[in-house]
Amino acid sequence: MFKSISAELSNWFKQVFHIKNSWILLPGLIAVLTVYADHHFNVCTQLFSRGPLENLAPWLVLMILLVLVTNSLISRNPLVIYLAALALVFLVRELDDMVFTFFDATYLVKTKNLVSFLLAGMGLAAFVWHEKLFASLNRSRLLKVSLFGVLWTYFFSQLIARRWFKGVLPDERLLHVPLEETAETSAHLFFLLFALCCFVFISKSKVDLGITL
């Protein structure tokens, strides 16, 4: 089993790491350049602050979830179902530290610990379901490259969040928050576009997937 997973991942990386696929780096790069352009020209600085982007993020993730759930109901594809579950985890994460008011009572939502548990569950599910997931991925090289791009953009946003580029990016200390929030928003937008494109990537055939809903 481990040898099979290793072989599939190795093949995936070989297909992704080509100069022609460098476009998958654009969302993260554009996010960074946009922040620096805004800082330099001082056009709409408030737009890239934490507040507006944090308020937008849950709605973007909710849109991703709705698109993937709709696609999963149509295609019953294992990969789409898995990504829909992943989008749900992302939505739970976006709800962390949000305040909700019900019947004049205020509630602060804390989901950080729950998200860690859910991500561990997603990792276990990927391990158990790896044959079906790779079977879906192997239907389209563009699908594999695009999904890798989405995952990389999220990873890139987390590198920024953890200050990995401190001393590398100019004015990183000053622009850390807008860089982090804009990169994460870029990842959400990339994921949303990918989710919409899954209607084209993923075959609607339900014959050999072994999935029943």
pLDDT at 47 over 70: no
Q: What is the pLDDT of residue 4?
A: 80
Q: Which amino acid is at 142?
A: L
Q: What is the pLDDT of residue 207?
A: 39
Separation of alpha carbons 30 and 183, rounded Å: 9
pLDDT at 108 over 70: no
Q: What is the pLDDT of residue 1?
A: 72
Split at pLDDT 50, 70, 90, the class of 212 is very low
pLDDT at 107 over 80: no
Handedness of CA 28, 34, 35, 36 (dihedral sign): positive
pLDDT at 126 over 50: yes
What digits encode the pLDDT tens for the residues 175-209? 888 899 999 999 999 999 999 998 887 754 443 44
Which 8-state DSSP code applies to residue 164? T
Q: What phi-psi label fits residue 211: left (phi over 0), alpha (psi between -120 and 50 degrees) or beta?
A: beta
pLDDT at 130 over 50: yes
pLDDT at 7 over 80: yes
Separation of alpha carbons 89 and 117, rounded Å: 10
Contact, 160 vs 168, CB < 8 A?
no
pLDDT at 138 over 50: yes
- Among all chains, which residue has been given the structure tokens 């829909």? 84
Q: What is the pLDDT of residue 205?
A: 44
The whole-model pTM stands at 0.85
The mean pLDDT of 42-57, rounded to a whole number, is 73
Q: What is the pLDDT of residue 49?
A: 65
Residue 136 or 203, more confident = 136
Which 8-state DSSP code applies to residue 117? H
Q: What is the pLDDT of residue 86?
A: 95
Q: What is the pLDDT of residue 146?
A: 94
Q: Which of 98-102, 123-127, 168-172 has the lowest mean pLDDT?
A: 98-102
